[in-house]
Amino acid sequence: MTLTLGARAHDFGKLPADQLAEKIAAKGLTSVQLALAKAIDGINSDTGGLSPGLATHVRDAFQRHGVRIAVLGCYVNLVHPALAERRQLLARFKEHLRFARDFGCSVVATETASLNADWSPHPDNGGEAAFRTAIESIGELVAVAEKFGVFVCIEGVAHHVMSTPQRLRRMLDTIPSPNLQVLFDPVNLLSKDNWQEQDRVIRGSFDLFGDRIVIVHAKDFKIEGGVPKPEVIGRGRFDFALLASLLKARKSYIDVLLEETTPATIDESVAHLRRIFA
C-alpha cells in the first residue's frame, strides 16, 4: 500500500490558499481536509458565498503545489436543539455539496454532534429520538448529494449521536444510499469505557462498515484521569500497526489525514506514520 498522507489544512494556520498549500506541501503531504472558514484567509465562505469561481481558485492554488483537496470539512450540528438553527446549518452543508466538485473533491464530512447546541455530551445522545433526528438530517443531505454525484461522509464520535460502530452501521442500513459514506476516526470512537479494547473497536468497525470508509483520520491518545486525551502521534497508546495492516489489506491509496498536529510536532508525526506504513 502506498500511503496517501495528508492533514487538516487549518492545523497549518489560516492563510491565503496559495501560501497555505505551499506550507502543507513543504511537509511532504499530498492531500488535505479543508474547512474553508478555518483555513482560507481572504475569501467569503459564509453560506451563500461559495461559487464555482471561488472553488476553482482554491482548487488551483492547492494543485499548483501538488496537494489535493480530499474532503471538505463542514462540521455542523445535525441534531441542534433549535430547529431554525439546524435548518441554517443544513443549508450550509448543502451548499458545500453543490460546489464540492468545483473544489476537485467528492466528499463533504461532518460529525453528528450533540443535543446540546455547544456539542458537549448530552445524556440522551445515545437514545432513539436523537438517532431519528440525525437520520432525518443526514437523509436530507444525502438526497442533495445524490443529485450532484458526491458523498456525505459521517464521522462517529463516542459522545455524539453516532457514537459507536454499531450505530454507524445502523445509520448506513437506515439510509441505503451509496452516497452516504464514513470518515473513520478510530480514536474518536474510544472513551473511558472502551479504550482498553481499541483492537475490538477498530476490527469491529472494519467488519461492520469497512467497505464504506472513504477517509481516515490519524491521531494518537494518552490516558488522563481514565479518559482518552490527545497525544502526539507515536507517543501515545494508539495501535497504528493494526490500522496500517487493515488499510493495506482493504483500502489501498485511501487518504490518511493527520489531526491534532502542530508546527512543533508535524515532522515527528509524519515520520512515525511513514515508518509504520512502510
Instruction: Give the CATH number, domain containing residue 133.
Output: 3.20.20.150
3-state secondary structure of 223: strand
Alpha carbon distance 35, 45 (integer Å)? 10
Cell of 213: 470508509
Alpha carbon distance 251, 227 (integer Å)? 30
**Per-residue confidence (pLDDT) for residue 1, from 0 to 100:** 56
Q: Name the domain count of the chain.
A: 1
Domain range for 74: 4-277
**Per-residue confidence (pLDDT) for residue 265, from 0 to 100:** 93
**Per-residue confidence (pLDDT) for residue 262, from 0 to 100:** 87
**Per-residue confidence (pLDDT) for residue 263, from 0 to 100:** 83
Contact present, 222 and 229 (Cβ < 8 Å): yes
**Per-residue confidence (pLDDT) for residue 121, from 0 to 100:** 96
Contact present, 210 and 251 (Cβ < 8 Å): yes
pTM assigned to the model? 0.96
Q: Where are the alpha helices (DSSP H) in the chain?
A: 17-25, 36-39, 52-64, 83-99, 128-148, 165-174, 198-209, 240-250, 266-277
Query: CB within 8 A of 22, min separation 6: which ones?
Result: 65
Alpha carbon distance 133, 78 (integer Å)? 8
Locus of grid cell 440525525? 134
Low-confidence ranges of the chain (pLDDT < 50): none
